[in-house]
Structure 1
Amino acid sequence: MKSSQKISLVLIGLMITTYLIYAGIYIKNTSFVASGERYFVLFDDAMISMRYAKNFAHGFGLVWNPGEAPVEGYTNPLWVIFMAGFHLLPLAASKISLAVQISGAIFLAINLYFVFQIAQKLAQNLVIAALAAILTAFYMPLNTWSLQGMEVSLLVLMLSISVWLVLNNLERDRFSVWPYLILGIGTLVRIDMAVPYLVVLGFLVIFDPKNRKQNLIWGLGLLAVFIGGQTIFRLWYYGEPLPNTYYLKMTGFPLITRLKRGGYVLFKLMEQMNWVLFLLPFAALLFRRDRLILFLFTILGGQVAYSVYVGGDAWEHVGGANRYIALAAPIFFILFVYTVQQIITAIATKIRPQILPNHWVVNLTLIALVLASMVNFNLLSNQKSLRRWILTRPPDFIEANIEYVEIANRLKEITTPEARIAVVTAGAIPYFSERPTIDLLGKNDPFIARQPNHLPSGIGDIRPGHMKWDYDYAIGELKPDVVVQIWGDIETAKKYLSEYYVSAEYDGMVFSLLKDSPEILWEKVTIQP
């Protein structure tokens, strides 16, 4: 084994070990004690997937409410199946999320190996490879989405493996079906992995003329199999060709408005990261324009363009890359470190050519600039984000998780198992309360998902997936036993709450309870005047 290979393995081993320690502390910081028990809880959208996973593992099928017509309120079928496996283990409900979090840390740790290899292949420089992997390892948004249970951890790994394989194939001028297989499986994890799939296919058709025919046949053929197969399943099982969340987020959301909102959050990300740092990687094209680097830019551009097209995500207000752009964060960091190194080298050559043989000068400068930039990349919405980054403050969303678990536990104490609850946040509360649930924002309700959007006047106030509700239907018609939360049109909700519901307090929490409902344990609550 060459000395450079030994050094590479040592560096990778050190980075993965350090990262796993960091991830372990991060995961511990997401936990909390409620009702005398320690809980590990995922990001609330991930808890929606966990509800489907639990129902599937318990034999009810891939359904939101057992015994009711199935609705596909998730966009990550293979991830739901993966989560279901943990529900077969002898773990308390409060600890199952921990297993998902650990798996996310493992996926991200493996991803560091491939990020290192991609950067090494591009730059043939161990320092660049190590720094790119370090930026990836400690980028807070990537950790937030991955270590709090979203499928991002697996998807970013699948994308990195595919990129690494394509770079190898381009370098050796050969064809391989593996990138298509991996990204095809990725569409089963989340259907919008079809975006990098099509980007890879399009790039290879254009820039790999020798293997164009094979890429077209295998690329289009496998895409048809993966997309066609899951579409047939959806039509058979759910009666719809697309997930319910597609209708929720995309219908009634005009293209121009989506593009404006997607562009707005992209520019906010640029501003947050610092315009110079965000645009700096594009200067790499001044130094080289071969197929390898063009491919990386194409992958990055595809994810950014898709984020703009769908109008971004719903949580950009916490800062950093959203779930779509976060998948390409490793590619961005590879290009960033490579470009900084090229600029430093060019300046050193211009000012003092004799510096170049002493690579340590260039490398030390590179390390200093990249580490300083890393702090800036993780300075998200405010100064508190840096404390979250260095693990001295609980991560984003944890305060809300504590509230949701407390609500769920109180609901179990004052209702029968048949009580129907209505919620805005449809993850942890339904999961831990184990009650039939009405999703007021429509992720798990096909009727609400197809209603008109309640678009706010300001582009910055738009939150995809949080703009549809119908209280005439959800409260006035369905009449849940408990209305836990309200969103948006409070006045319409109040009309029904004042007529059909009473306000009741239990253990410091106030709920709207359906009058005379047999599913409420009335002796436990205090009716408010």
Structure 2
Amino acid sequence: MSRRALGVAGLLALLAFGTWMAWSFVIDDAFITFRYSEHLAQGHGPVWNVGGDPVEGFTNFGWMAWHALAAWLEFDPVIVAKVTSLVLAVLILVLLLRATEGAGSVVATLAFVLFVPTYFHLAGGLETVAFAAVVLRAAIVGTRVIEGERVWDWEPPVLLLVAGLLRPEGVLATLPAVAVWFWYERDRPGPKRWLVAAAVAGLGYFVWRWVYYGHPLPNTFYVKFGNLDAGLVWTQDTLLLFAPLLLLTLSLLVWRDTRLHGLLLLGTVLATGATYALSGPTMDYLARFAYHAFPVLCLGAGLAVARFGPRWLAAVAGVAAVGWVAVLGARLPGLPVIANYGVDLHRAHMAIGEGLARANADVPAEFRTLAVSDAGAIPYLSDWRSIDYLGLNDEAIAHGADPTDVVRRAQPMVIVVTSNGPQVPPVKYGMRVREVTAGYTHVAGVRMREDYWQHVFVVRGWAPGVGAAINASVSEAQRTYDPGRYELTINRWLDRLSGRSGS
């Protein structure tokens, strides 16, 4: 076996090992997408509540549509999301190998596979790895055009369209590469036709979703966008995390023959991160949003190291860059939470959702109503009509309505209140808890981890039956998943992997 083949086998082994270590992880937000996918597959359209006013509580239409196909085929959406992301992670590895050479290939690929967050983003259920793969491919297509190579006329416009369907900011992220391609190919009719076709398709999609949902932007935009202070913190954290990769990519500007490559890659990174720098993204666990441009930085670092003359300089730069991202990636503050999040989600949110589904036999469909702030696994697994009083899936709240008034008017059968301890908070996400739970019975306080609880309230007349179903499900899950352990430590995760945990 050749040295290169051994190296590829080693990279794949590392990728497989990291995937295994993070496989239990799935993020609650992924179930928001899966709920829309399920309803689309059932013929109700991409809606939060069947029969309700359409609201766009997701930002990944293409990912949602892919999982609607999976739901129609009756595949488990969590498994489909993980396997799809794993395949795309292998594709990223292949793209990096083919776009770099020598020491540059070693640096680019090792930085990718030794970055611990890679595996949690792969397993998490969201479109993170898929979006990163499309952005990387667009950047590579741009570099090939700069080098005078011919690319398929259809590929850059399709990448632009796919990126925009995966995330709204995908158009910005792939625009630098598409602009470079179009400039070089501007005298040929083929590229123009494909670009017009992609623009028509993209505009048609935009008009449809504006008409269908009633707003030009996803509902989440109106809840989250505009926190410049948080955006500044995000930018500083991202610069620190990827500093060596960014510096190596910047070094491409030094050499005449790589200057355009460097400008394109840096432009892609800036265009990808601009939205997040202005919005201060929430749910940014393990640099999730910065990860969208991470493979592009791996590519830039690989191209730069391959350009270094002295071998010792390439070795030092490569070890420093790979070691930096590997160490900082393994020491990100949120890692203990995320490493244990999957089992914690099973014994809290998922257990409550499954408990509500158990109660369906005794609760007529018209009474299956729910208010919740963690609008993921609980609404998805129960499939009850749900109010998201955080506002991500509720237009009225997203546009300024008082959550207390919205929930009181709806009078849902079940209200789930998140807290940081066993005590019920007086206010949560603007909802005055005592007011909305008047006439309800507190049937369960479900502990997820040491600082996170879900308190379940049920209308008094229904409390005994619904409460019993929820508590039976929760008790079973608490016995199954890390019983008695709630601490946020890496050791709990490692104990579980080694079989020393009780789960």
Range of TM-score over shorter length: 0.7 to 0.9
Note the C-alpha offset of 1:482: 0.9
Indicate the residue corresponding to 1:282 in structure 2. Answer: 250
1:336 to 301, 321, 324: 301
Alpha-carbon spacing, 1:474–1:146, altered in 2? closer, same or farther (3 Å) = farther
Name stretches of at least 5 consecutive residues in structure 1 with no aligned partner.
31-41, 346-355, 452-468
1:76·1:189 contact (CA, 8 Å) conserved in 2? yes
Note the C-alpha offset of 1:450: 0.9
Indicate the residue corresponding to 1:352 in structure 2. Answer: none
Quick one: distance in 2 between partners of 1:507 and 1:184?
43
Structure 2 counterparts to residues 29-48 of structure 1, below 5 A? 29-30=24-25, 42-48=26-32
Cα displacement string for residues 302-333 of structure 1 (whole angstroms, at most 9, x for unaligned residues) = 11222212x232134x44x232x211101212
Note the C-alpha offset of 1:230: 0.8
Structure 2 counterparts to residues 126-275 of structure 1, below 5 A? 126-172=102-148, 176-204=153-181, 208=183, 211=186, 217=192, 221-222=196-197, 224-250=199-225, 253=226, 258-271=227-240, 273=241
Q: Tell whether 2:379 aligns with 1:430.
A: yes
Partner amino acid for 1:245? T
Q: Which deviates the most, 509-518 or 224-233?
A: 509-518
TM-score between the two structures when normalised by the length of structure 2: 0.78
Note the C-alpha offset of 1:275: 5.4
Alpha-carbon spacing, 1:265–1:214, altered in 2? closer, same or farther (3 Å) = farther
**RMSD of aligned alpha carbons:** 3.5
2:33·2:64 contact (CA, 8 Å) conserved in 1? yes
Quick one: distance in 2 between partners of 1:151 and 1:426?
18
Note the C-alpha offset of 1:65: 1.4
1:201·1:216 contact (CA, 8 Å) conserved in 2? no
Q: Tell whether 2:308 aligns with 1:308.
A: no
Q: Tell whether 2:94 aligns with 1:113.
A: yes
Q: Which deviates the most, 487-496 or 73-82?
A: 487-496
Cα displacement string for residues 273-295 of structure 1 (whole angstroms, at most 9, x for unaligned residues) = 28566545424433455222221
Alpha-carbon spacing, 1:336–1:104, altered in 2? closer, same or farther (3 Å) = same
2:371 partner SS: strand
1:409·1:433 contact (CA, 8 Å) conserved in 2? yes
Cα displacement string for residues 203-261 of structure 1 (whole angstroms, at most 9, x for unaligned residues) = 456xx4663786994586245323311122214433333322233333xx4xxxx3332
2:417 to 458, 478, 485: 485
Indicate the residue corresponding to 2:18 in structure 1. Answer: 22
Q: Tell whether 2:470 aligns with 1:502.
A: no
Alpha-carbon spacing, 1:401–1:263, altered in 2? closer, same or farther (3 Å) = farther
Quick one: distance in 2 between partners of 1:169 and 1:363?
26
2:457 partner SS: strand
Alpha-carbon spacing, 1:110–1:400, altered in 2? closer, same or farther (3 Å) = same
Quick one: distance in 2 between partners of 1:88 and 1:378?
37
Note the C-alpha offset of 1:178: 1.5
2:375 partner SS: coil
Quick one: distance in 2 between partners of 1:173 and 1:164?
11
Partner amino acid for 1:16? L
Quick one: distance in 2 between partners of 1:363 and 1:525?
59
Quick one: distance in 2 between partners of 1:8 and 1:50?
40
Note the C-alpha offset of 1:472: 2.8
Alpha-carbon spacing, 1:134–1:211, altered in 2? closer, same or farther (3 Å) = same
Cα displacement string for residues 187-208 of structure 1 (whole angstroms, at most 9, x for unaligned residues) = 1222221112322244456xx4
2:347 to 402, 405, 416: 402
Structure 2 counterparts to residues 437-516 of structure 1, below 5 A? 437-451=386-400, 470-486=402-418, 489-490=427-428, 493-497=432-436, 499-505=438-444, 510-516=455-461
Quick one: distance in 1 between partners of 2:90 and 2:168?
24
Quick one: distance in 1 between partners of 2:464 and 2:168?
39
Indicate the residue corresponding to 2:422 in structure 1. Answer: none
2:391 partner SS: coil
Partner amino acid for 1:475? V
Aligned residues: 452
Indicate the residue corresponding to 2:46 in structure 1. Answer: 62
Indicate the residue corresponding to 2:288 in structure 1. Answer: 322
Name stretches of at least 5 consecutive residues in structure 2 with no aligned partner.
420-424, 448-453, 472-503
2:370·2:415 contact (CA, 8 Å) conserved in 1? yes
Indicate the residue corresponding to 1:83 in structure 2. Answer: 67
Q: Which deviates the most, 235-244 or 99-108?
A: 235-244
Alpha-carbon spacing, 1:195–1:377, altered in 2? closer, same or farther (3 Å) = same
Note the C-alpha offset of 1:59: 2.6
Note the C-alpha offset of 1:336: 3.1
Structure 2 counterparts to residues 382-397 of structure 1, below 5 A? 382=333, 385=335, 394=339, 396=341
Alpha-carbon spacing, 1:239–1:307, altered in 2? closer, same or farther (3 Å) = closer
1:74·1:244 contact (CA, 8 Å) conserved in 2? yes
TM-score between the two structures when normalised by the length of structure 1: 0.75
Alpha-carbon spacing, 1:59–1:76, altered in 2? closer, same or farther (3 Å) = same
Q: Tell whether 2:247 aligns with 1:298.
A: no
